Each structure stands twice: as structure tokens, then as C-alpha cells.
Chain A
Amino acid sequence: MISEKDVKHVASLARIHLKDQEIGRLTKDLEKILDYIHKLNTLDVSGVQPTGHVLPLKNVYRKDAVRPSLAQQEVLKMSVEQQDGFFKVPKVIE
């Protein structure tokens, strides 16, 4: 069971401000979806290794060599606000 309080908590973890009517609807949606997902509980997975991804890769290294990278302005130009070579954001503390 997922409550409206849980949904509000998860929304704050996910950094989404939900309107009141959205909270009600999402609670119902998530409850239905989670109820379906609970069918996994009928499976015994003790001793089964998890699969994070399918390739037999561990760490992939590349040569520690200098390569061309994007210019600072190229990277900054898509931001809403920038100043002196930095991304600019609203005040962090009031």
C-alpha cells in the first residue's frame, strides 16, 4: 500500500513539486502499478545473482591521454543564465 504521504515524500526525493490533484491521481496510479509488480513476490529468488546489465564487462578503461573537448562557451550557451564562465542559479540560501 502506498499512501499520499509516501507519494509526497517520493516527490520531494525526486524534486518534483506536485499539485494537490496530482498527488491523489498518482497515489492511485502507483498503487495499481505496484499491485501488479507484487506478482514478483511469488518467485523465489534466493541464491539468484542480480543482473545490472547484460554484458560481461567490468571496468572499461581508456588511455589517459589529452583529447580535444568542448569549449566552455559551447557548453554554457544552452543554459538559461550564465555569468563569468559559470552557470547561474537562484539563491541557494535565503
Chain B
Amino acid sequence: MSLFLIAALPFLGAVLPALLIRAGRNAAASAAGLTTFLALMGLLIHIPSVMRGDVVTARFEWIPALGLNANFMLDGLGFLFALLILGIGLLIILYARFYLSREDPMGQFYTYLLLFQGAMVGIVLSDNILLLLIFWELTSLSSFLLIGYWKHLPEGRQGARMALAVTGGGGLAMIAGMLILGNIAGSYDLSVILQNKDLIQASPYYLPALILILLGCFTKSAQFPFHFWLPHAMAAPTPVSAYLHSATMVKAGLFLMARMWPVLAGTDAWFYIVATTGLITMLLGACIALFKDDLKALLAFSTVSHLGLVTMLLGFGTKFAVVAAVFHIINHATFKAALFMTAGIVDHETGTRDIKRLGGLRHLMPITFTIGTIAALSMAGLPPLNGFLSKEMMLEETVHTTWLNSHYLVPGLALLSALFSAAYSFRFVSHVFLGPERTDYPHHPHDPPVGLWLAPAFLVVLVVLIGLYSAAIVGPLVAVVSSAVLGGAELPYYSLKLWHGFTPALYMSVVAVVGGLFLLSLYRQSNALWNALPRPEAKVIFEAVIGALATLSRWITDTLHNGVLSRYAIIVVAFTVGLGYYAYTSGTIGPVTREPLPAPVIPIIGWICLVVATLAIMWFHRNRLLALVLIGVVGLIVSMAFNYLSAPDLALTQISVEVVTMILLLLSLNFLPTDTPRDSSPARRWRDAAISVVAGVGTGALIYAVMLRDFAFPTISDFHLANSYKGGGGTNVVNVILVDFRGFDTFGEIIVLGIAALIIFALTESVLSTNVRAYLLNRKPHWPQSGDSHPLMMVVATRVMMPIALMVGAYIFFRGHNQPGGGFIAGLVVAIAFLMQYMASGYTWAIERQRFFYHGTIGWGVLIAAATGIGAWFNERPFLTSDFGYINWPPLEEFEWATALLFDTGVFLAVLGAVMLALDSLSRLAWQPGMAQEFPMDINPLRNDPKVDELKEQA
């Protein structure tokens, strides 16, 4: 199976549980299980080539210019982790089906789980570090969803937030480190980076890159001092804890350290940072774990301790330590997943996981007792179980390690943590299962159904078999994985067996086990001592730091973003002016290359009108109606200027937009105050005026300079001119650009326009649903109303003009491809024709005759445009490729058809609908109940009109 498919399967499968949960919980669980099983089978197919030591790859160039390629590779290391992720994932899916209760949304659970699984598989199979980073962040996000799965529990939400903050923060550091590493190596492909050990370690950026990458690994793998998030993540359901903390999430950091081992390891910096951190974490985790009363907290800290163990081994930088680390990763995954599941079963069946309330369960839950005891003894490092083997190798390696010239420090501390480790493992067994039976369990405990204990039982069988026949079962795998971690270097001498003779490691093991038993026998005293010791509470510190950061950012936001919009505006303008000034002083300007056009009298008159009107707006803007009239003047002059300067399409658009904008602003002015009071002090007005003048002069000078110079580079306009007729079938190049060359832009723009109209509609709806409605219904207008709100002359004129206006619209629409016009302009013209009816005959009259809703018009417009674009796919062309041809129907003259016309129909409908919906919404605000009785121009004497009836009665 292709590596792409293996990585994609969990993501693809993630939708299934969410959909299938309606068919029942078994369907959702089976879909999740089947997806995982398929991916697992796909992985296992590659066993022969992986065991030969080959690297399976799948490459896809995505953005080669950025080095961002979707490259996957499968070597021994990736295979081991993918096997753990998918294999234990399958067991967890089985276990979770029986663990979760009816109230828990199981579809959601499996969806999150598969998303997480996909992200993890992506990490271990990535050959490109940018791709790896994406998957890395995805694990942080999806684990957030999983840890916070029980949304009703505050601990769950806090734990999820903490995990996201710590691992996500580390991930950010890692992005920086990876980018540095990629820059040093000159490639973002792991296979290239891994070949460049000398180059990377000689680089001055080696240390920063190392520290940043390790930050990512340490936060993810819960290494000291970032270990505190892991126990808090235990608020998640037990299947999540078992999955995240035995085989996957926390192992991602170990995976990456192993992956990068060939290039990063072997230096003093690596040894002292990684091995020391691992050693401290191992000791600290083991020590805390012993004194935890919550079963899952005990396992959480023991996980921290074991992660520290593997980190320390990788940090040693020796080949033998790598083999031990690889072996321990396998062993830890098996016994720890089984232990988490056991803890979940105990919790599920007794109703508590508080060790102080448990004990004596061995006869009540014999199966659980057997499973839990074997797994715990493996964790303690007792022969003949697998935990013993890798712990022996670890102890053996520490004996040969010197730390700052001390031969005893590392083995001593390792022995101490092995002792603690044995003690908490024995405590797990004795305080939960041994001892006298109790009568005060919250539930009556008994062994769970087979679905719940099958998965841990399977793992425990592995624990025993690996312990007894390690060389036969996992020997080849360990060899292949170790040589992948070592980067192809020769494997050291090692042997996976129980008996190596009387070695120092054996003595240390014996001391650890006996010491552990002794420590447990003194548990009461040591626990009292532990509780008497002062120790920092990580959660309190974390919350305090987060609280301080939140206060700081709130202060910054409130200071910069204090709600004074006019201040933001002035900052933006002043900054832009400053930027322009900097560009002007720092750049150079070429010589004038164009002759200015002559300026005859009429344009000069237009210019005078425009400038006078604009200055008058500035001066008289407090009289709002006057300012509006003056704006209209400016708009008219601008459209005339477009017409004069060879832009007939723009002139047509501008003048029709001008009309609808004016209607819109007049409508709004109906509700707003008629005058703007003088708010600003004279000093402020002068300051604003000064900034405005500087900005205006700058803008004017810039465009003046541009207009007098030719293009610095050849433009694409010549292409448009040359291909408009040949390729687009139209002679109006502006229209062909809109509907053809840049049709996708236009498509986006009509969508934006439609959204704007819908926003206006929604705002109107929400305003009218508040007490504003009562105010509007009883509102008195600002100005005296005209005596006749529907003047006869205007009503007649608009109704006569309606068909003519529609005809003009149609004409403009159809000629648009070859002559000035098109869908935009036609839509505006037809909208104006409708608006005239609203104005002359009244809103009530108009909507009584409205046969369709404007929402639908917008929708059809967008759909028609989209369908036209999609039509190109059926001819195996890209989206929105247009086609055209000529039709000859005698006796008509030959005429052209073009798919662009259909697209333009969509534009037409969308523009029409958007303009009408916007203005219609505003008009609704003005509606008052009395208006319903007013009839514009009573042309039908037979109609039932109360006024007429009244008159008849009087007569």
C-alpha cells in the first residue's frame, strides 16, 4: 500500500464514525477499527522490504521552490512507531467501545482518535521536515480535543489547555529549530539532512537549532521541567490516556530525537542537555509516582520516568544505548498500555481509582489481577518479563558512563530511580489487589466483560513472550530499528537474553528490587516524610504565569485598542504618509517620458466643478443633505471624466452606481440626524486638515509622476488586446477581461457583493427584532412630508418608462461583449428601473407585485456563473474556460454565441439581486402601518378602496 494512503487512511476514516454513530455505537467503533486495520495491513505489507533494511519512499513535489514536498519514507524506525501507533490504536478502539458509557458521544471520540492517529502516523512517516512539522502541530491540536473530551469536567478542560499550551509552545520552538537545520543542510528532506552530520555539527547555528528542536521534543515527551502537563492530561478518558501516554503522543518527542540522532547526537552539548534532562526526569518521575494515590497519576508519573529513561539513553550517544532505547520503547509501550487499561478497568468496576480506597481485589477480579500484576512486575523490572531485559541494558550502559569525570553519579542515580520504579510497581499490585478485601467499594467489583480485558490481555501475553523469547520475537525488529536510528552505521555487539552472568547490572537489579520492597514496607513513614517536604505545585505556577501573560496582553490590547476609532484612522493615515515620504526620499525617480495631453476648456470647467464641490463638502459637511448633493456632483464629474478618457464602460458603471448610492444615502439620512454637531476643537481640526492635505498632495504627486512616465516593465495588457477577439470572442476588451481572462476574480466579486447584501438583510432583520421597531413605527420624519406622497405625474412617468428601461438594460447586456456594456451595468440599470417604481408608487405597492425574492436572484446568479465555469470541465478544460461560436439563422444576420454570455447572466442576476436586496432592506425600516392604505394613482375606479367607499357613502 502506498505510504500516502497509509498516512491518509485515518484522516479519511475520521469522518466515518461521526456519520455512522446514527447507525449505533458498534457501527462507529467498527468503522474506526476497520480503518485502522486497513492502515495496519497496508503497513505490514512492507515488512519484507523494511526487514531487508530498505527504505520505502513515496514522493510528491508540492511547492518545490519552498522545499515543501509531500515526501514520505518508511524505514525501520518509522515502521516500529507506525506499528505501535496503529497496533495499539486498534486495541484502544476495541477497549474504548466497552469503556465509554452511553452518555459519551462515541462518534466524536472515534473521530478525534482517528485524527490524532493520522497525525501521529504522518509524523513517523514524513521524509520532509516541513511536512513533519505540520503533522506535529496536528497532534497537539487533536490531542487537545481528546484530552478535553469530557467537556463537562473542568479538570479535563484545564488539562487540555495546559497540554496544548506546553506542547504547542514547544512545537513553535521546534519550527524555528527545524528551519535553521534545513537552512544549514540546504534541504528540508530528512534523507538529505541525515547525510550531512559534519556540515551541521560544524555550523555556528548547530547549538541554537539543537536547543530549539529539543524544546519541541522535551515538551512533547514531558521531560523535566515540562513534565507537569502529562499528569493533568489524565483527566481524559482512560482509553485516551492509554493511547497518548503509552504508544503515541509522548513518544513523538522520543521518535524525533531518535530520528535526528545521526546528525545531532555525539557532541558534548547533546550529551549534557539530553542525558542530564533524561536522568533528572527519570528520577523525579519515579519518586513522585510512588507517592501518588490516584492510580492514573501514579502511571502518569511512571510514564514521565520511563520517557526520561529513554531520553537519557539517547542522550548517551553510544550505539549500545541506542539499542537499549529502542528495545525499551517497545517494552514500555506494551506493559504501560496494559497497565493504563487495567487502571481503567479498576476505575470502571469499582467506581474509584483512589489507591487508599482500594485493596483486596485479587479474588474479586482475578483476570484483572493477573493482567495488572504481570504488567506491573514487568515495569518493576523482574525476570523473565520484557521490562527486566531493557532495564538491565540501561543499567549496564550507565555503569560505563561518566558525567563530569564522575563514574558513580549516573549509575547511582539510575539505580535510585530503578529502586523507586520497583517500589511504585509493587505498590500498584499490593495496594490495589493484595491485602484484605474491603466492604466499602463504591460499586460491587467484578471482572469486566471480555471486550474490556481482551486488549490488555493480548499486550500482557506479548510482555511475557518478549521476555522469554526476545531474540526470536523482536530481535530482528530491534536490529533493523537500531540501524535506522544509527543512520546505517554498524550495530554494536549486544544480545537480547535473560541471563548474562553475574554482571554489575544484575547486582544493581537485585538491589533495586529488594530496595523497592523495603521502601514499600516503610510506605507509611516515607509517605509522611514526603508530605512534610515542601514542593512546588506545577499547576499553580503554570496558572500564575498564564494569568500574568493574559493580564499583560489585555493591558496591551486595551491600551492600543481603546475603542477610539478616529485615533486608529489617524495613526493609519499618518503612518502611510510617513511610509510614502520615506519611499520618496530613499528611492529614485526616472525621467519624464510621456507628453502630457492637452487640456481643453470643457475638462477644465469639469475640474473646477469637482474641486469646488469637494472643497465645499469639506466646509459644509455638517449640513448632511447639502454634502450629499455635493457628493453627487463629484460622482457625476468622475463618470464624465471616465467617458472623456476612453473608458465608456467605467462611465456607465459609475453613473448607475452613483444613482443607487445616492438613493441609499438619502434613505439612510431619513433616519439619521440632519446635521453633524461640531465635536472637534479648532486645534484638532487644523491637525486633521494638515494631515489630510499632506496625504492629498502626496497622492496627487504620485499619480502625476506615474502618468508622465511609461511602464517600467512590459505589461500584460497587450496580451489581453491581442487575444480578446481570438480567444474570448469579444471586441470589448474590458468586458472580455471581466468575464473571461479574469473571470475567476469576477466570480469572487459577485459572491462578495451577494454576501454584502445578505449582511444588510440580516442586520435589518436583527434591528427590527428589537425595540427599535416600535420607535420606527412611531417615528416622526425630520422634514415635512410632501402633500402627495405618490405624485400622479411621477407614477405615470415611471410606469411608462419601466419597459423602456428594461429594454435598455437588455440592450446594454447583450451588446456588452462587443460594445461598452455588460452584466454589471445591465444589472445596475435594471435595478434602477425597479427602484423607480418603489420611489414613485411606494414600498407597499412595489412588494405586492414582487414575484420572487432577491435572495434567490443572488443565489441563481452565483449558481449560473459557477455552472458556466464548471461546464468547462466537461470539455476537459480548466474552470471558467469560455467557448464561443457563430450561428447563422436566415433571414437573421449571423450572430455570435458565447458561454461568456451565460457567465455574464450570472453577474447580471447577482448584481441586480444584491442592489435590490440592500435597498429593499433599508426601505423596510421606513415602513409604517398607515402606508398600507395609501394607493398610488387610482386608475381602477372599480377597486375596493375604503376612501372611495367613504366618499360614495357621503354622497
Task: Answer yes or no: are A and B bound together in one complex.
Answer: no
